[in-house]
Amino acid sequence: MAKIHLIIPAAGSSLRMGQALPKQFTVLGNNKTLIEIVESVFSRISQIDSINIAVSKEQNHIEILKNKFSIKTHIHYCGGASRAETVLNAINQIKCMADDWVMVHDAARIGITEVMIHQFIDAIGKDKVGGIMALPASDTVKRVNKQNKIISTESRDEIWLAQTPQMFRFKLLRKALENFDGIPTDESEAIESLGHRPKLFKGSPLNFKVTFPDDMKRAEKSLEILRVNKHD
């Protein structure tokens, strides 16, 4: 039976946050760091066989958190120059069979829930290639040129905003990342470059990625919403 191995790339420096501390190690109101919140949710999913957190070799913030992670969580000091390189480095450190699944989730998406993960696995696990969590675009989408002049209006019905988790077969994802010409923005783009068509699974607005300083307040509110919904 195919296993599922989760990779959480956490080697970024969070330059857009404008702070010295990488955002994944920032503490929220519940006294947990972003990476702790994400790890704790996935650690409760029995279908996930291993959790692999990939950090840079110079990263020492993870040291004080090690004892707070589950027994199936492993730390890999394999961070690369890009997210894609970090994920590929982590893949090469995990013992997988060719048909095992590799799931990737951003350390800064704390709005993910156990229910969402279970539904995602049920839906994507039936696909031959794999797929991603995403949201349909709700706003009108404009294409612009280098001068920020609008050159066209895209069909909103055909636009989805990619989220994580993203899940693909181990052998296929490794091949896609190794052979991609350039730096893919996510795992799906690498898979697409081989001619495959990943499946979409509708995600949640709460599963947004903390990127800018103001997002921390939004993240706090999201956690509160999730806590209220859990107890209703």
List pLDDT tens digits, range 11-24.
Answer: 976 666 656 788 89
What are the domain boundaries of the chain? 4-231
pLDDT, one tens digit per residue, over 193-213 is 999 999 999 999 999 999 888
Give which of 117, 203, 115 is closest to 161, Cα–Cα.
203
Look at residue 17 in the predicted model and tell me its pLDDT.
63
Q: How big, in percent rounded to 5, are the helix, strand and coil portions of the chain? A: 35, 25, 45
CA torsion, points 190, 191, 197, 198, in degrees to nearest 10? -100
Tokens matching residue 207 = 């599963």
Beta pairing class for 160-169 and 130-136? antiparallel
Distances (CA, A) of 109 to 9, 24, 27, 76, 144: 11, 9, 14, 20, 28
DSSP alpha helix (H) spans, the chain: 34-43, 83-91, 114-124, 170-179, 187-192, 215-231
pLDDT, one tens digit per residue, over 30-47 is 789 999 999 999 999 999
The model's confidence at residue 232, banded by pLDDT at 50, 70 and 90, is low
Higher model confidence: residue 126 or residue 231? 126
pLDDT, one tens digit per residue, over 48-69 is 999 999 999 888 888 889 889 9
pLDDT, one tens digit per residue, over 123-173 is 999 999 999 999 999 999 999 999 999 999 999 889 999 999 999 999 999
Superfamily of domain 4-231: Spore Coat Polysaccharide Biosynthesis Protein SpsA; Chain A (3.90.550.10)
Q: For all residues of the chain together, what is the average pLDDT? A: 92
Tokens matching residue 128 = 């031959």
Least confident range of 10-19, 93-102, 169-178: 10-19
